[in-house]
Structure 1
Amino acid sequence: MPSRPRLRRPSVLPRILRVVLTGATKSAAIVVLLLAWELAPRFGLVDRTFLPPFSEVAQAWWALVANGQLADNAEASLVRSFSGFGIAVAVSVPLGLLIGWYRPVADLLNPLLQVFLNTAALALLPVFVLLLGIGETSKISIVVYACAWPILFNTISAVRTVDPTLLRLAKSMDLSAPRLFQKVILPASVPTIFTGIRLAGAVSIVVLVAAEMIGAKAGLGYLINASQYNFAIPQMYAGIVTISVIGVAFNQMLVAVEKRLSSWRVPATS
């Protein structure tokens, strides 16, 4: 009896090459930037006193890792940033859903909310320090304030721009208000809400670093400020690079969460 032809498994090599090429394409601009950073001071295009080569910054970064300073300061910043960010999400998303659902309330509060949205958080930093002191409370509070408004406005916009066809279909099925929220409003609002959440994630780190430069004893902002004050320029840039890496990693984490929550959506086809 003739044997059946064996099915050949698709080769793994093309898949690996595709992943490598994709990664190389996405990181090409960063590699060029780091190469320019390394060469410009060495060829005298910029003063290496104020912009040392990237290799010196990498050595300073590793020294900060080895002596534990980077971990301690990064931990302090992350605890403050994530605490403020988490509080802002927990408050702004439910509040935005409520305001967006009741249009008269949204119209009434919109002018006041616009005032808060357009008042820079850092402009209010002296007020937070006066009212709450220079401790942890003022730093976390300024992060909450900075993160709350983009999340709130995007959540309100998400509810108010849900496809009317979906709402009509849901109402034709006699869904109750809670079920309408659960089955239609929330799933359709996820992408727009996460736009605000991702924006708030970036804001939480930027605002906190600036706040840590005033009266802080630990944190990446404190590390950068202290390094600049002591003219430890490589350490200063090491702190800046660390903030950038944390920001990118945080954004990618939020993108992954968004994709998981939006997995039900079917991509549009032409």
Structure 2
Amino acid sequence: MVTIRKSINEELQKKIPPPRVKATVFPSFLNGLKKTIVLILFFVTWEIAPKLGLVDRAFFPTFSEVIGAWWQLILSGELFTHFQASIIRSIVGFLLALLVAIPLGLLIGWYPVARDLLSPLLELFRNTAALALLPVFILLLGIGEISKFAIILFACTWPILLNTISAVKNVDPLFIKSARSMNISSFKLFYKVILPASVPTIFTGIRMAGTGAILVLIAAEMVGAKEGLGYFITYTQYNFLIPEMYAGILTISLLGLVINHLLVLLEKRFSRWKQLV
């Protein structure tokens, strides 16, 4: 009997096709390779263009010069000082926006009365550029940290708020009908159905706000600050430290990529339920 079972298992294993690992891994590998090649070509062009005289080397140094200046700034600790100031301001303003925008967006999206009352005010402020209000924040709050927290809070609130409202409004009605047919309470309906279904759209707004927090802060630091990446870029420009200026710009780009990647990972963590649907 044991011999028969072994022979049957061997025959079945021969008939079962091997898992198609290459079919899924190879296209993703090619996609990653294409992106890498594009980045490499970009940096090679950056390195060669000033050497060939295609651009003025005094105003557009080679990529190796920028990396050298960037490394020296890291070793001296100067870049870390400005980076630390900017990241603390961004995180504080961003977290304040989350605490304000998500509960308010859930409230407005869930209750039509609140949505009807606040819609005119939302339409007014959503079309107001945050940087246009920067002089107002400086006049009211000064050029210290509070004004920078406030401008980031304002800039980050609207994408999170509007996406949260849209997420709650556009939840699949079948989910709601199925939940109501089970006679669950309104609180459980909101907590178990509405909130999980709204997570992907809410995170779209959070990712937009994460990028916006950095951009708005850099602009604010260029106007009134004594430290921060925005201040550092302006300072190096005025003192004609061009490689250091590009090093600061490169740092901002890397910071934006890291923040976006972290938010994508966080979104996947909170959207695991979609894999079960």
TM-score, normalised to structure 2's length? 0.89
Question: Partners in 1 of 2:165 and 2:142 — Cα distance?
Answer: 33
1:13/1:167 Cα in 2 relative to 1: closer, same or farther (>3 Å)? closer
Q: By how many angstroms is 1:20 displaced?
A: 5.7
Partner of 1:108: 117
Question: Partners in 2 of 1:220 and 1:31 — Cα distance?
Answer: 26
Partner of 1:139: 148
Partner of 1:206: 215
CA RMSD of superposed structures (Å) = 2.4
Match of 1:72 among 81, 89, 102: 81
Q: By how many angstroms is 1:18 displaced?
A: 7.5
Partner of 1:57: 66
Match of 1:90 among 99, 105, 122: 99
Question: Partners in 2 of 1:139 and 1:245 — Cα distance?
Answer: 21
The answer as to 2:53 corresponding to 1:31 is no
Partner of 1:250: 259
Structure number with the higher helix fraction is: 2
Share of identical aligned residues, percent? 56
Q: By how many angstroms is 1:107 displaced?
A: 2.1
Give the match's secondary structure for 1:60: helix
Question: Partners in 1 of 2:24 and 2:173 — Cα distance?
Answer: 42
The answer as to 2:181 corresponding to 1:160 is no
> What one-letter code is carried by the residue in structure 1 that aligns with 2:66?
V
**1:13-32 alignment, distance < 5 Å:** 21-32=30-41
The answer as to 2:53 corresponding to 1:44 is yes
Give deviations 1:60-82, integer Å, cap 9, x for gaps: 10010010011111010000001
TM-score, normalised to structure 1's length? 0.92
> What one-letter code is carried by the residue in structure 1 that aligns with 2:63?
F
Give the match's secondary structure for 1:254: helix
Give deviations 1:5-31, integer Å, cap 9, x for gaps: 8x9x99x99999877655322322222
Give the match's secondary structure for 1:47: coil
Corresponding residue pairs, total: 266
Partner of 1:149: 158
Question: Partners in 1 of 2:69 and 2:276 — Cα distance?
Answer: 46
Question: Partners in 1 of 2:81 and 2:265 — Cα distance?
Answer: 27
Give deviations 1:65-122, integer Å, cap 9, x for gaps: 0100111110100000010001101110011000000112212211211111110000
Q: Which has the larger radius of gyration?
A: 2
> What one-letter code is carried by the residue in structure 1 that aligns with 2:216?
V
Question: Partners in 2 of 1:254 and 1:145 — Cα distance?
Answer: 20
Question: Partners in 2 of 1:166 and 1:104 — Cα distance?
Answer: 22
1:245/1:165 Cα in 2 relative to 1: closer, same or farther (>3 Å)? same
Structure 2: runs of 5+ lacking an equivalent: none
Match of 2:185 among 148, 152, 176: 176
Question: Partners in 1 of 2:41 and 2:213 — Cα distance?
Answer: 28
> What one-letter code is carried by the residue in structure 1 that aligns with 2:225?
A
Question: Partners in 1 of 2:22 and 2:244 — Cα distance?
Answer: 41
Question: Partners in 2 of 1:227 and 1:167 — Cα distance?
Answer: 56
